[in-house]
Amino acid sequence: MSARPSFDPQNQAEFDAVAGDYDRLHRENIKLSGEDPEYFARYKLGVLKRILGADFALPLLDFGCGIGNLTKFLVEAFPVVHGYDPSSESVKMAKDRAPNAVFTFEENELAPGYFGAVVIANVLHHVPPADREALLGRLVSKLAPGGKVVVFEHNPWNPVTRKVVNECAFDADAVLLPPTEITQRLRHAGLANVTTKYIVFFPRALSALRGMEPGLAWLPLGAQVAITGERSA
């Protein structure tokens, strides 16, 4: 099984080749947590509801949606959801999981100034560092005034996260981003009110403690991080 390629539309054939096996590999990779991919997708959904508000009704874009693990939950909570991935095979699978969402594998089909929020979940570590700022700049151009970019990423300051990524077949290309890099790049892309929240602290064995997690958002030990920036109105 080859590694997941760098997140680049030019690598569409490579993305297509791994799409069918992605779910199985993902489940194997995160088994240390005691959870499955659905748990982490629902976790992100809860974070987004707190960031955007339960009544958020503007178009939302799941950028780098892959096979739709997150998208299928987004459509349960938000009325207008779009998904983009450079892999046409991944998009086919995502359509089956989230038939109420609008999908494309052509980035130029994403309308500028249209989205109230763009979610980019565990994608940036697949983007070559030299290309990250340009990508974020393109995403900002898709935002309506006052719209938000929400970046979910692995936290390299968490040793368990580093172990999981190092052992993951489709993360062979990954270059993890310190949260400080993400915040800096969002500001350079022109976003304001950049905020950082650390998330995902306790494995299933300690699930009784998970109610504490929103109050630990300041603590840089979470397995992942959610960083938000806002386009000026």
- What CATH number is given to the structural domain containing 32? 3.40.50.150
Helix 12-19 vs helix 88-97: angle between axes, to the nearest 10 degrees? 40
Q: Could you tell me the pLDDT band of residue 2, with boundaries at 50, 70 and 90?
A: very low
**Is the pLDDT at 220 greater than 90, yes or no?**
yes
Angle at 228 between CA 107 and CA 110, to 5 degrees: 15
Q: What is the pTM of this model?
A: 0.87
Cα 42 from chain centre? 12
The pLDDT score that the predictor gives to residue 173 is 73
Q: Could you tell me the pLDDT band of residue 24, with boundaries at 50, 70 and 90?
A: low
Query: What is the rounded distance in angstroms from the CA atom of residue 218 to the CA atom of residue 197?
Result: 6
How confident is the model over 107-121, as pLDDT tens digits? 999 999 999 999 999
Query: What is the rounded distance in angstroms from the CA atom of residue 116 to the CA atom of residue 174?
Result: 29
The pLDDT score that the predictor gives to residue 3 is 36
Residue 208 lies in a domain: yes
Nearest in space to 220 (alpha carbons), one of 191, 168, 167, 182: 182
Residue 128 lies in a domain: yes
**Would you say 85 and 7 are in contact if contact means Cβ atoms under 8 Å apart?**
no
Residue 182 lies in a domain: yes
Domain containing 163: what range?
Answer: 9-230
- Convert 200-225 to b/e letters by CB count within 10 Å (16 or more is b): bbbbeeeeeeeeebeebbeeeebbbb
The pLDDT score that the predictor gives to residue 6 is 45
**Is the pLDDT at 74 greater than 50, yes or no?**
yes
The pLDDT score that the predictor gives to residue 54 is 81
Residue 219 lies in a domain: yes
Query: What is the rounded distance in angstroms from the CA atom of residue 19 to the CA atom of residue 22?
Result: 5
Please give the mean pLDDT across all residues of the chain: 86
How confident is the model over 161-198, as pLDDT tens digits? 877 777 665 666 778 999 999 999 999 999 999 999 99
Cα 169 from chain centre? 18
Least confident segment among 28-37, 130-139, 146-155, 201-210: 28-37
Cα 82 from chain centre? 14
Query: What is the rounded distance in angstroms from the CA atom of residue 71 to the CA atom of residue 51?
Result: 17
Residue 92 lies in a domain: yes
The pLDDT score that the predictor gives to residue 4 is 40
Residue with the larger pLDDT of the pair 23 and 63: 63
- Structurally, how many domains does the chain consist of? 1
How confident is the model over 126-163, as pLDDT tens digits? 898 999 999 999 999 999 999 999 999 999 998 888 77
Q: Please give, one letter per residue, the 3-state secondary structure of 77-121.
A: HCCCEEEECCCHHHHHHHHHHCCCCEEECCHHHCCCCCEEEEEEE
Residue 4 lies in a domain: no
**Is the pLDDT at 31 greater than 70, yes or no?**
no
How confident is the model over 57-69, as pLDDT tens digits? 999 999 999 999 9
